[in-house]
Amino acid sequence: MNTVIDAHNISKVYNPTTIPVYAVNNVHLHLQKGEFTALVGPSGSGKTTLLNMIGGLDRPDEGNIFINGIDITKLSANELISFRLQNIGFVFQSFNLIPVLTAKENVEFIMQLQKASKQQREERVKTLFAQIGLQDKLNERPSRLSGGQQQRVAVARALASRPQFVLADEPTANLDTKSAFNLLDIMARLNREENITFLFSTHDQRVIDRARRVITLVDGRIVQDTAEVSTQHEEAAAVKT
């Protein structure tokens, strides 16, 4: 097995001197290549905080986070930016795209940051837009795309850089049911067919149902992780035979 994310008792405390808020409290998390994992929990349970730390956008107050064996808590701010560019794909809740660029240019943008050649970019854009089913919207600006289409372009943008994994913080929160399912279908298919690793947070039960693994956070602690359950099942099964 191939461990992509390995977080060791990470914690994040806000207002440590006044009224401390343990946004993330001593969390352990392992993610293998090819997982399709939902991070769930009530509002304020620490989902965003945890994702930001794993994505190298925020630093934990305690603990270490290894991405493909590299401890990102040891990287400088500038190193982190480059690290994110090369290793992590991001899909945010909304406003993922640069409004003055077309859908295609938005996807190309991240490859330009990576200094990919024109030919490489063209090929990748073609594949990705086929995968998200928006070949006919290549030259549209974000304002002319629906919310669901914008999120699909954001997924394409996140994949364009060939990251180790994709982080998505409530990617469907602003979408209607149909668009939300559509986006999830695309993500699930990319996961199945291309073995892309996804870690996304959500409130939406229908989205949770599609996940292959569900991690539940309450008050900054992991209270349930279906991966562990299934592992226990497997162990139990192994013992029986």
Partner 1 sequence: MWLLQLAWKNMWRNRYRTLITMAAIFFAVILSVIASSLKEGIFNNLVKNVVSFYTGYAQVHKRGYWNEQILDNSFETAPATEQKILRQKNVAGITPRLESFALVSSGDVTKGSLVAGIDVEKETAITGLKDKLVQGIYLKSTDTAILLAQGLAERLKLKVADTAVLIGQGYHGATAAGKYVVKGIVKFGSPELNDKALFMPLAAAQDFYSAYGMVTSYVLSFNNTAAAEASVIAMRSSMDSSYEVMSWGDMIPDIKQHITADSNNMKYVQGILYMLICFGIFGTLLMMMVERKFEIGMLVAIGMKKIKLMVLLTVESILTVFAGCIIGLLVSIPVIYYLNRHPLRIGGETAKAYERFGFEAIFPTSTDAAIFINQGLVVIAMGLLISLYPVYKVIRLNPVAAMKK
Ligand X SMILES: Nc1ncnc2c1ncn2[C@@H]1O[C@H](COP(=O)(O)OP(=O)(O)OP(=O)(O)O)[C@@H](O)[C@H]1O
- Nearest approach, Cβ of residue 54 and ligand X (Å): 12
Q: Which of residues 154-183 bind Mg ion (CB under 5 A)?
A: none
Distances (CA, A) of 209 to 4, 16, 138, 203, 212: 23, 36, 31, 11, 8
How far apart, in whole angstroms, are the C-alpha atoms of residue 183 and residue 165? 17
Q: Does 48 bind Mg ion (CB under 5 A)?
A: yes
Nearer to partner 1, 52 or 216 (CB): 52
- Are the beta carbons of 67 and 5 closer than 8 angstroms? yes
- Nearest approach, Cβ of residue 203 and ligand X (Å): 6
Nearer to ligand X, 49 or 191 (CB): 49
Going by C-alpha positions, the residue among 230, 212, 224, 179 that lies closest to residue 42 is: 224
Out of ligand X, Mg ion, partner 1, none, what residue 86 binds, judged by CB under 5 to 8 A for its kind, is partner 1
- Nearest approach, Cβ of residue 105 and partner 1 (Å): 9
Going by C-alpha positions, the residue among 189, 190, 170 that lies closest to residue 180 is: 170
Nearer to ligand X, 58 or 140 (CB): 58
Nearer to partner 1, 86 or 232 (CB): 86
Q: What is 141-165 written as a DSSP string?
A: -GGGS-HHHHHHHHHHHHHHT--SE
Which stretch, 42-50, 145-153, 179-187, 212-220, contacts Mg ion (CB under 5 A)? 42-50
- Are the beta carbons of 68 and 4 closer than 8 angstroms? yes
Binding site for partner 1 (CB under 8 A): 52, 55, 57-58, 78, 81-82, 84-86, 88, 90, 92, 95-96, 98-101, 109-110, 112-113, 157, 161
